């Protein structure tokens, strides 16, 4: 017997088949004449409502199974990583990687589903750091650099419509300065819908 969890309060509903059988049993026990109702029409209406509820439960289960979210930072094996024009920035230590869409070896995020995705970068950098670029399937879509030469942070965020199999990666924009390793240099993203 299948149960579906509904709501945050932990309430459970009986399976739709069990519920329908219970209603049919009650109607047959009471008899059409005693109720004064058209039993067949009532059963059809109840059956349609149960089918609609089953569809909604399936949609919720599908949405839950499509969860995609990651957050990763640059490991502190060395205190800083020298910028190299066009080189991928590898955020090699994931805090979390729900759905396994982020590859900490290549630094690439590969969309598992069609949808809208949100990405955010927050980097701790040297004052001479030249900036970063984000690419979708090797096409430049976002740039972030420092407007203030004394700044030591670069941040950027974007919403991207992606198809399953599309790839996002982050690269150095110039060969100047360095990126600090550790929890201050983080790349995150998640599926919105």
On the question of pLDDT at 5 being above 80, the answer is no
Taking the model in full, what pTM does it have? Answer: 0.69
Per-residue pLDDT of 180-189, as tens digits, reads: 888 889 999 9
Average pLDDT over residues 52-64: 77
If you search the block for the tokens 């049993």, which residue do you land on?
A: 25
User: CA 42, CA 48: separation in Å to the nearest integer?
Assistant: 10
What tens digit of pLDDT does each residue of 86-130 get?
Answer: 889 999 999 999 999 999 999 999 999 999 999 999 998 888 888
Residues 68 and 189: their CA atoms lie apart, in Å, by: 8
From 124, 123, 116, select the one nearest 158 (Cα to Cα). Answer: 116
């Amino acid at each position: 017997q299948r149960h579906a969890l509904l709501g945050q309060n932990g309430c459970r509903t009986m399976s739709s088949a069990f519920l329908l059988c219970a209603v049919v049993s009650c109607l047959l026990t009471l008899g059409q004449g005693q109720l004064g109702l058209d039993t067949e029409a009532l059963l059809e209406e109840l059956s349609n409502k149960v089918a609609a509820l089953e569809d909604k439960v399936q949609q919720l289960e599908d949405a839950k199974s499509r969860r995609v979210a990651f957050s990763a930072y640059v490991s502190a094996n060395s205190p800083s990583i020298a910028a190299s024009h066009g080189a991928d920035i590898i955020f090699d230590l994931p805090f979390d990687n729900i759905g396994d869409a982020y590859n900490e070896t290549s630094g690439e995020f590969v969309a598992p589903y069609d949808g809208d995705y949100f990405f955010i970068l927050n980097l701790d950098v040297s004052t001479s750091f030249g900036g970063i670029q984000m690419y979708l399937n090797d096409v430049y879509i976002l740039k972030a650099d420092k407007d203030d030469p004394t700044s030591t942070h670069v941040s950027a965020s974007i919403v991207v419509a992606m198809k399953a199999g599309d790839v996002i990666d982050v690269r150095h924009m110039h060969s100047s300065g360095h990126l600090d390793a550790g929890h201050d240099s983080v790349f995150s993203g998640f599926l919105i819908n």
